[in-house]
Amino acid sequence: MQRYSIFSLARNALTGHRNWPQAWRSPAPKPEYDVVIVGGGGHGLATAYYLAAEHGIANVAVLEKGWLGGGNTGRNTTIIRSNYLWDESAAIYEKSLRLYEGLSRELNFNIMLSQRGVLNLAHNEHDLKEMARRVRAIRGNGIDSEILTPAEIKKLVPAINVSKDMRYPILGASLQRRGGVARHDAVAWGFARGADDRGVDIIQNCEVTGIDRKGGRVTGVRTTLGPIKAGKVGVVVAGHASVLADMAGFRLPIDSHPLQAMVSEPIKPVLDCVVMSNAVHVYVSQSDKGELVIGAGIDSFNSYAQRGSWQIIEGQMGALVELFPVFSRLRLMRSWGGIVDTCPDASPILSKTPVEGLYFNCGWGTGGFKATPGSGWAFAHTIARDEPHPLNAPFSLDRFATGALIDEHGAAAVAH
């Protein structure tokens, strides 16, 4: 792997940037691997990276039916934070945030992490009380979180409307200063390059169409490039989790829904933190290019169509211009959708399954980008040791039978 540095940049500038090597190989699949990862989004690539980097398991293939990061990883609004209510969630999301903080260096790839702060607005008495409780719980877990008054919010975000005659006036906010955004493609590409460098085969345009089993144990996968044998298989396909579970003969507590995002035309810097509101239901940040990046909720119905409904966009635009009247004259440039895998308790599943040697990582729904490194790290451990790490043990499939759900609807109410 050619390391990226100021010197390699200068050297390649001298030759007109024509001699950069490919960031990863594109090999033909081998007939057999120790581990096959299905899904080349951020979580799948992170899993492969940590399998090789932390567990010395490098005879690994990542099979992606499209292109790397072409699923939710490349479609999300990139908000990163760890201000979740319950201890189990706090632990895994905070692990992820800490990995993010060192990731550009670890991967030698600039993931453009910008810890610009994430603000969650409160619009009524109940929001305020709930927020106070939440901030205390978060701080109790050693995670930074603080409460701001409307005057402090206005100071931090001058463009926001804190007047009392809004329909849902802003009464306060919680702020996680270490929260922020990162470049989504870079996260996928950085993990891909790091994994490839350690010997992982990354195979794009390869769709898994079947999961082979013998005597209750996984033996390999069928793909559009032919059968591939595998000692273990890790499935990390987000919105398609139920489809892959069906191939292995079981069901998941997951529904697939469209989630949309959109960007405005680029404007001069106006917003330097992330603003989210559960109550009026919208969130917004400003990209380095100057576009406002806007998102909100899922479409109610099940779908695999990667497009959502118009009235969802209309609703969140109403909320946005109420919070920021100055945005009302902006035009939207693009909108798109991804298919998110929602779970009944708004928490993910990183788990062994009824099939031996087959592992599923899914259910991140509307909020898994922030978890990408932590999820890959814990899932790699689960696959390598055939048992969950304490970080992801609470997120196993059997919690739906034991009843030990991890209800994070409060933390995940706005899709983010």
Partner 1 sequence: MLLIHCPWCGPRDESEFGYGGEADIARPPDPDALSDAEWADYVFMRTNTKGRFKEQWVHIHGCGRWFTLVRDTVTHEHGEAGVFGGVEPEADG
Ligand X SMILES: Cc1cc2nc3c(=O)[nH]c(=O)nc-3n(C[C@H](O)[C@H](O)[C@H](O)COP(=O)(O)OP(=O)(O)OC[C@H]3O[C@@H](n4cnc5c(N)ncnc54)[C@H](O)[C@@H]3O)c2cc1C
Cα 194 from Cα 377, distance rounded (Å): 14
Sketch the per residue contact string, 319 through 358, with partner 1: x for CB under 8 A, - otherwise.
-------------------------x--------------
Stretch that binds ligand X, among 24-32, 68-76, 210-218, 315-323 (CB under 6 A): 68-76
Residue placing its CB nearer to ligand X in the complex, 64 or 201: 64
Q: Which does 77 bind (CB under 5 to 8 A by kind): ligand X, partner 1, none?
A: ligand X
Q: Is there binding between residue 78 and ligand X (CB under 6 A)?
A: yes
Q: 5 φ, ψ to 5°? A: -160, 175
Q: Is there binding between residue 76 and ligand X (CB under 6 A)?
A: yes
Cα 372 from Cα 360, distance rounded (Å): 15
Q: 289 φ, ψ to 5°? A: -80, -10
Q: Which parts of 101-239 are beta strand (E)?
A: 118-122, 146-148, 172-176, 180-181, 201-203, 208-214, 217-223, 228-235
Residue showing tokens 């030990």: 404
Q: Which does 344 bind (CB under 5 to 8 A by kind): ligand X, partner 1, none?
A: partner 1
According to DSSP, the residues that pair with 230 across neighbouring strands are 33
Q: Which two tokens stand for residue 106?
A: 């670890």
Q: What are the CA-CA distances from residue 351 to residues 61, 79, 244, 252 (Å)?
A: 20, 25, 14, 11
Sketch the per residue contact string, 180 through 209, with ligand X: x for CB under 6 A, - otherwise.
---------------------------xx-
In the complex, minimum distance from the CB of residue 215 to partner 1, in angstroms, rounded to a whole number: 21
∠234-245-217 over CA atoms, to 5°? 60
Q: Is there binding between residue 134 and partner 1 (CB under 8 A)?
A: no
According to DSSP, the residues that pair with 181 across neighbouring strands are 79, 114
Sketch the per residue contact string, 226 through 265, with partner 1: x for CB under 8 A, - otherwise.
--------------x-xx--x----xxxxxx---------
Q: Which two tokens stand for residue 381?
A: 């451990």
Q: Is there binding between residue 240 and ligand X (CB under 6 A)?
A: yes
Q: Is there binding between residue 302 and partner 1 (CB under 8 A)?
A: yes
Looking at residue 400, its amino acid is F
Q: Is there binding between residue 261 and ligand X (CB under 6 A)?
A: yes
Residues that bind ligand X (CB under 6 A): 38-44, 63-66, 70-73, 75-79, 207-208, 236-238, 240, 259-261, 295, 338, 340, 364, 366-370, 416
